[in-house]
Amino acid sequence: MRDHTQLRAFELADEVAILTYRETRNFPKDEMYGLTSQMRRSAVSVPSN
């Protein structure tokens, strides 16, 4: 059986997490603990589970 990190679904989810962090860097600072935080936590949750 393959390692879970080699699955295509994991690779795509990991890429989404990286892109989410990259894009949210440009969000307004007043959103850092609101929308930005929620998007980042959601993006990381997918490949983590």
Cα gap 27→40, rounded to integer Å: 12
Tens of pLDDT, residue by residue, the chain (49 residues): 678 888 899 999 999 999 999 999 999 998 889 999 999 999 999 988 8
- Identify which of 44, 28, 48 has the alpha carbon closest to the alpha carbon of residue 36: 28
pLDDT recorded at residue 1: 63
pLDDT recorded at residue 11: 93
pLDDT recorded at residue 3: 83
Cα gap 11→42, rounded to integer Å: 16
DSSP string, 1-49: ---GGGSHHHHHHHHHHHHHHHHHTTS-GGGTTTHHHHHHHHHHHHHH-
Single-letter amino acid, residue 36: T
What is the pTM for the complete model shown? 0.79
